[in-house]
């Protein structure tokens, strides 16, 4: 019996109490109740506060309500005992057989275990990297590459239709500066003072000249745009390859230029006209403004400056509407700490275009991450040319260690990671600890096969998983779907990482307990209890592998 099944059983009990007139619920019987693992040992296998939630509506006291539920629940299949505790908590113990069946359910579901339909029917856009195609991706992009991808994975696991989107900032003065820097490097001239100074610029210029030898002989007014576009194509391809190597794959690479192209659907021009028609724009001081203060923004926002230049906010507005026109019900943005002021203006913008931002928009602001090596921070500065690139981080730290270390913290937590700590092969290193637990389950399965053991199939006897630690491990495995659903609904994939660490700890304690031994010793015959624990090991392997996959981290079979 897992938490979902127990929740259904409690709902059935409530429905029966209402049907026979024992209790009255004016709002009707809830479709589900919250069931959790109790924090303290001795408080049963699961706990629920449903009595405290419903007693007032039923016109009675929580403990009295809880006693009514407990009396019926004790007779339910799979329930061994129910205790009413405190002001009205229900602590539920389940039969070993009912609990043990969780292991077989996990093995049968395989890679699908933990997936649900909680968010079914929702179409969600997750935009989590917005970068200029003017240099390699660096540490500043790395955290978002991990968190955005992990958020997308848990959303999909919860049944949502998800698109991962990369917003290419390929318009504006920075692109011309990039082209001028490449041109100067190719011609042996000094890089412009406000251009891009990194060593990668000279390397990129050399590639362009090798591929297009005639580019240096173009007329001056044609040469810079040619270098700009050639550099753009090469640098964007490099960014795409970097992210693929980091196990982060985008469904959409959206060009900012497309928002400004004449005749394009959802263009900036169309957006401005629509806002004018709706009465949300006004002119002042020679500029065009959006009246975002009507919807809680701290000030109105300029869309077109007095010199006729469009602002970034004009593009942001058109881009949001473009996403909505593509059928996305919800748009998630992951932005850096320096974009904190964007939250209010984006919400006001969504309201200006007729949406309810509480329903269609999530803006997540993340904090910066520092990587320490030998006691010193690894620095980055794209313009100064001292960047720490994503490729360098992958080479030094490794994809798995880097992804897991970044995924196990909330986005809004400032983060400092030490290279030596997150790469060491030690139980003190969380990624190693979790991956090693998976590798241990694989080795146990191999050892079982060596002595002729196999998964028992229909002969599996769940009641033999009757040790206290069998129960703890089973409850941990049963909790996985709830953790995934919660991570999706709250946009917090770090919950999966922390769950994996806790579950690995329970598994390791189970592994070290002689009474829970899976393999027969010496010449002992293989028993039904051995086979039942083999199912439990296989289930543990499945859950750890599934959880690591949601973080974009591999589940090694050997370490």
Encode pLDDT of 411-433 as tens digits. 989 999 999 999 999 999 999 99
Between strands 287-290 and 301-304, the pairing is: antiparallel
pLDDT in tens, 456-493: 999 999 999 999 999 999 999 999 999 999 999 999 99
123-131, strands of its sheet edge to edge: 252-255, 161-168, 123-131, 330-335, 361-365
Q: Are 99 and 462 in contact (CB under 8 A)?
A: yes
Count of C-beta atoms within a 10 Å radius of residue 299: 11
Residue at token pair 């769950």 = 499
User: What's the pLDDT at 172?
Assistant: 86
* 228: nearest Cα among 272, 185, 269: 185
* Angle made by CA atoms 40, 496, 439, in degrees to the nearest 5: 95
Q: Distance between CA 177 and CA 259 in Å, rounded?
A: 21
Q: Distance between CA 110 and CA 123 in Å, rounded?
A: 26
Q: Distance between CA 65 and CA 50 in Å, rounded?
A: 9
Cα separations in angstroms, 170 against 131, 174, 229: 8, 8, 10
Cα separations in angstroms, 396 against 57, 260, 401: 59, 40, 10
Q: How confident is the model at residue 271 (pLDDT cuts 50, 70, 90)?
A: confident
Q: How confident is the model at residue 384 (pLDDT cuts 50, 70, 90)?
A: very low
Mean pLDDT of 385-389: 73
Whether residue 263 has pLDDT greater than 70: no
CB within 8 Å of 487: residues ≥ 6 apart? 154, 493, 494, 495, 496, 550
The listed range with the strongest mean pLDDT (384-393, 412-421, 501-510) is 501-510
Whether residue 114 has pLDDT greater than 90: yes
Whether residue 40 has pLDDT greater than 90: no
Q: What are phi and psi of 251, to 5 degrees?
A: -85, -30
Q: How confident is the model at residue 264 (pLDDT cuts 50, 70, 90)?
A: low
* Angle made by CA atoms 348, 352, 355, in degrees to the nearest 5: 90
Q: Distance between CA 317 and CA 349 in Å, rounded?
A: 7
Whether residue 381 has pLDDT greater than 60: no
Give the chain's mean pLDDT.
92
Count of C-beta atoms within a 10 Å radius of residue 343: 18
Whether residue 160 has pLDDT greater than 90: yes
* 430: nearest Cα among 441, 442, 417: 417
User: What's the pLDDT at 423?
Assistant: 95
CB within 8 Å of 512: residues ≥ 6 apart? none
* 151: nearest Cα among 394, 392, 383, 334: 334
pLDDT in tens, 71-89: 999 999 999 999 999 999 9
């Amino acid at each position: 019996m897992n938490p979902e099944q127990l929740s259904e059983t409690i709902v059935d009990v409530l429905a029966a109490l209402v049907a026979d007139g024992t209790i009255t619920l004016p709002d009707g019987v809830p479709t589900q109740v919250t069931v959790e693992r109790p924090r303290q040992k001795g408080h049963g296998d699961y706990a629920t506060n449903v009595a405290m939630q419903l007693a007032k509506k039923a016109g009675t006291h929580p403990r009295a309500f809880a006693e009514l539920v407990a009396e019926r629940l004790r007779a339910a299949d799979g329930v061994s005992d129910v205790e009413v505790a405190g002001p009205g908590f229900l602590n539920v113990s389940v039969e070993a057989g009912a609990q043990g069946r969780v292991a077989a359910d996990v093995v049968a579901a395989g890679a699908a275990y933990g997936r649900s339909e909680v968010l079914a029917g929702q179409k969600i856009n997750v935009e989590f990297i917005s970068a200029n195609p003017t240099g390699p991706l660096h540490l500043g992009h790395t955290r978002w590459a991990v968190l955005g991808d992990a958020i997308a994975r848990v959303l999909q696991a919860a049944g949502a239709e998800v698109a991962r989107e990369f917003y290419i900032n390929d318009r504006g003065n920075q692109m011309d500066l990039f082209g001028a820097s490449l041109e100067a490097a190719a011609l042996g001239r000094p890089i412009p003072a406000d251009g891009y100074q990194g060593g990668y610029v000279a390397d990129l210029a050399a590639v362009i000249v090798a591929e297009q030898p005639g580019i240096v002989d173009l007329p001056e007014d044609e040469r810079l745009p040619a270098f700009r576009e050639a550099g753009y194509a090469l640098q964007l391809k490099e960014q795409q390859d970097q992210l693929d190597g980091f196990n982060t794959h985008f469904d959409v690479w959206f060009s900012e230029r497309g928002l400004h192209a004449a005749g394009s659907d959802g263009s900036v021009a169309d957006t401005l006209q629509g806002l004018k028609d709706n009465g949300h724009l006004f002119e002042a001081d020679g500029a065009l403004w959006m009246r975002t203060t009507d919807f809680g923004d701290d000030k109105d926002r300029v869309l077109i400056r007095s010199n006729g230049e469009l602002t970034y906010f004009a593009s942001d507005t058109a881009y949001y509407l473009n996403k909505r026109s593509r059928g996305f019900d919800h748009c998630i943005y992951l932005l850096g700490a320096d974009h904190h002021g964007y939250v209010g203006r984006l919400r006001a913008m969504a309201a200006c275009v007729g949406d309810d931002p509480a329903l269609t928009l999530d803006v997540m602001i993340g904090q910066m991450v520092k990587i320490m090596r030998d006691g010193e921070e690894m620095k980055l500065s794209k313009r100064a040319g001292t960047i720490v690139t994503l490729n360098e981080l992958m080479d030094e730290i490794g994809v798995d260690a880097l992804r897991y270390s970044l995924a196990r913290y909330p986005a809004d937590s400032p983060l400092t990671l030490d290279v030596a700590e997150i790469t060491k092969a030690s139980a003190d290193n969380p990624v190693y600890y979790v991956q090693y637990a998976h590798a241990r389950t694989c080795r146990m399965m191999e050892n079982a096969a060596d002595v002729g053991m196999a998964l028992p199939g229909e002969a599996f006897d769940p009641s033999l998983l009757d040790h206290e630690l069998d129960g703890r491990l089973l409850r941990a495995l049963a909790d996985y779907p709830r953790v995934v659903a919660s991570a999706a609904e709250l946009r917090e994939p770090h919950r999966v990482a922390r769950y994996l660490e806790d579950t690995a700890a329970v598994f390791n304690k189970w592994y070290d307990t002689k009474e829970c031994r899976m393999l027969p010793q010496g010449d002992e015959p293989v028993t039904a209890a051995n086979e039942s624990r083999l199912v439990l090991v296989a289930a543990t392997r499945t859950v750890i592998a599934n959880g690591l996959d949601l973080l974009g981290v591999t589940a090694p079979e050997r370490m």
